[in-house]
Chain A
Amino acid sequence: MWEYTEKVREHFFNPRNAGAIEGANGVGDVGSIKCGDALRLMLKVEPATDIILEASFQTFGCGSAIASSSALTEIIKGKTLDDALKVTNQDIADYLDGLPPEKMHCSVMGREALQAAIANYRGEAWSDDHEEGALICKCFAIDAVMIEDVVRANGLISVEQVTNYTKAGGSCASCHEGIEEILAKVCAEKPSHVNQAAPACATQGPSAKSPATAATKTGLTNYQRIRKVEDTLEAIRPQLQRDHGDLELIEVQGKKIYINLVGACAGCMMEHATMGGIQAKLCEALGELVTVLPARELAKELARAG
């Protein structure tokens, strides 16, 4: 059985704000019975102030889905819509003193229901923007989509490299088979447009960690290229800000892009993973292979050069 915190158990056994509200003016439905998780969030918002007067939920799901829903309604009651939108899935998990890694999607679902309900109140269309894959590495809560993106963007060929980029596989080793399958799958694909510079997987040596030395014709001027990097990073920032983090572009030196992760992201367990994700996005946007490095590496580089 899962190790649920006292808080999770308490909210499961005595859920707050369960059921429908009369006169709800914002309703968000996410999930489906097929996946075994479905959540409807109902809000009663005061139009003059945009304050959430009442919030309630109906949930089909496991203990932590019900507890997450209950926690969410408690957190957002009395907030303005804008403040409510700042609530992250991590806030929901924190409110419950944590969730098991396999159950984090329950808190993600809560945040999505909130976005959906607010969009519904405001008469906007809302669509899910995150893709969630099967959980591969339980030790570090890293899913297949993340690993696949990082493998593809960086032309990774070994479990060890995946561990270096994402931490996945760095602890109990039980996910190594799963990671190897992803590596094999990506390797079997035709070399993608992003990845033309990377040599064939099978022959690539272990030094593939700093992949692209060959220049790629991107057809961009230096200025255009840096603008593109900036635009891409700008688009990523809101996501990081939701998790109380942020980033800053420090320098672009050829294939090396130095950034500063700040806030909750810096130095945390997920720094590698975040860097990997950013790198994947940049590779895609630029149509070439680049390496994203923390700004402290630039300092080291400069020290070596000087």
Chain B
Amino acid sequence: MEPTHSPIYLDNNATTQVDPAVVEAMLPFFTEHFGNPSSIHAFGAQVGKALKTARAQVQALLGAEHDSEIIFTSCGTESDSTAILSALKAQPERRVVITTAVEHPAILTLCEWLEKEDYVVHRLPVDKKGRIDLDQYKSLLAPNVAIVSAMWANNETGTLFPVDEMAEMAHEAGVMFHTDAVQAVGKIPIDLKNTKIDMLSLSGHKLHAPKGVGVLYLRRGCRFRPLFRGGHQERGRRAGTENSAGIVALGKASELAMANIGHENTVVKRLRDKLERGILAKVPHAFATGDLLYRLPNTSNIAFEYIEGEGILLLLNKLGIAASSGSACTSGSLEPSHVMRAMGIPYTAAHGTIRFSLSRYTTEAEIDRVIAAVPPIAAQLRKLSPYWSGNAPVKNPEQAFAPAYA
């Protein structure tokens, strides 16, 4: 059966639709303004001016003091890698990295590799709501630490880390501080000049700009080593001819994000809350994960016990509803998401976590449809589950289901 309504996109933490105004702003940079911004002639100069505007737009969104603190990159992952590798290269005597257990793979996979290269990585654990312990963090700050990297907002649960405070503490200890703010930028107000954050990563496609453009914010005076060497683009800090159309788009998207930040934290937040309450009111044995009082306004991560996430996604998809899951099956591993495991979510629930992430395009009618769609799906899959019987989980699931091996 084909979806009978227009599709509903609630996977905005994965990527967002490019705003039509952003598309309009970038298109001329494929055609009439195709010049290379490094060129002396008029073709190049026009583009150079557009990049300057875009840089100022991003600067404004981040509340950065100087426009030269904005380095355009190709994506959030590149910004993350650049930040951490730069800190290690610039301070060869410091061989320790502090991060958290719930970072995006853009950080964690890099850290695993660093360990193989004989660096020491401390991953701060989180409690069951996804919060770190600041005392434990403080105890790790030492002169041998090259950099702290902690995400501003978690991509799966939306939980916010107190990065302002963490940056202050790092600064006091004389340690560089980086934050992966890929999920936070555009969703919550940010004012870098009044923080001690040294570096920040963002990614265009999470805030209604296209894929293939990102930013590394680098505080003036922070020691730096480039990842790519070559031409003098981005003041030699990121060589390679600029993705001018993408950068112009990110500038425009930043301007729009600033204009919409109020909407995100009122209308979008209200719709998110309505969705979460609506589902939890009708589906038994389900709960929201993360720090519910301190999280992004657009994200709700719900664990449905005794069912597996992929099945939920496939059935939602059939109704034209797009969301995502922390289940193992969607990633090809046998373990559920590292974020759920770090929070100690029991296995009976971790495999059935679904993330709904809204955007400024989400409507009330869409939320109503999702609230109506989810309960029958959960019921249908539970009917198939050996851990479920009638209207409740089987008693003692571990014993009722007794495999010959596990």
Contact = CB atoms under 8 A, between A and B. Distances in A.
Contacts of A127: 404-405
B383 interface: yes
A36 B336 contact: yes
A116 B406 CA distance: 13
Given A62-B329, A128-B405, A33 B314 contact: no
Contacts of B178: none
Contacts of A58: 384-386
A287 interface: no
A29 B334 contact: no
Contacts of A64: 329
B54 to A, nearest CB: 33
B: contact size bracket: 35 or more
Contact of A60 (B306, B313, B315): B306
Interface string A186-210: 0000000000000000000000000
B314 A36 contact: no
Interface stretch (A13-21, A44-52, A243-251): A13-21
B401 A29 contact: yes
A34 B341 CA distance: 11
B397 interface: yes
A138 B328 CA distance: 16
B385 A60 contact: yes
Contacts of B328: 35-36
B404 A59 contact: no
B385 A31 contact: no
A17 to B, nearest CB: 11
A38 interface: yes
Contact of A34 (B311, B347, B384, B386): B347
Interface string A107-140: 0000000001001000000111000001100100
Contact of B327 (A30, A62, A116, A119): A62
A30 B332 CA distance: 19
Contacts of B401: 29, 32-33, 38, 40
A19 B383 contact: yes
Tell me if B's interface is mostly helix, strand, loop or mixed: loop
B369 interface: no
A65 B311 CA distance: 10
Nearest to A58: B386
Interface string B320-350: 0000000111101111100000000001100
Given A62-B308, A63-B314, A18 B383 contact: yes
B282 interface: no
Contacts of A71: none
A97 to B, nearest CB: 17
Nearest to A60: B385
B343 to A, nearest CB: 16
Given A36-B327, A60-B306, A63-B314, A30 B404 contact: yes
Contacts of B351: 33, 36, 60
B406 A32 contact: yes
A36 B387 CA distance: 12
B403 interface: yes
Contacts of B383: 18-19
B402 interface: yes
Given A13-B318, A34-B406, A60-B306, A29 B311 contact: no
A127 B403 CA distance: 10
Contact of A29 (B308, B318, B330, B402): B402
Contacts of A65: 308, 329
B311 A30 contact: no
Nearest to A32: B406
Contacts of B314: 9, 12-13, 63
Interface in A220-237: none
B112 to A, nearest CB: 10
Interface centre among B333, B335, B384 (most CB of A within 10 A): B384
A57 B386 CA distance: 8
10 contacts: A13-B314, A29-B386, A29-B401, A35-B334, A36-B308, A36-B334, A36-B335, A60-B387, A135-B332, A138-B332
Interface of B: 306-311, 313-315, 317-318, 327-330, 332-336, 347-348, 351, 383-387, 397, 401-406
Closest 3 CB pairs of A and B: A62-B329, A62-B310, A58-B386
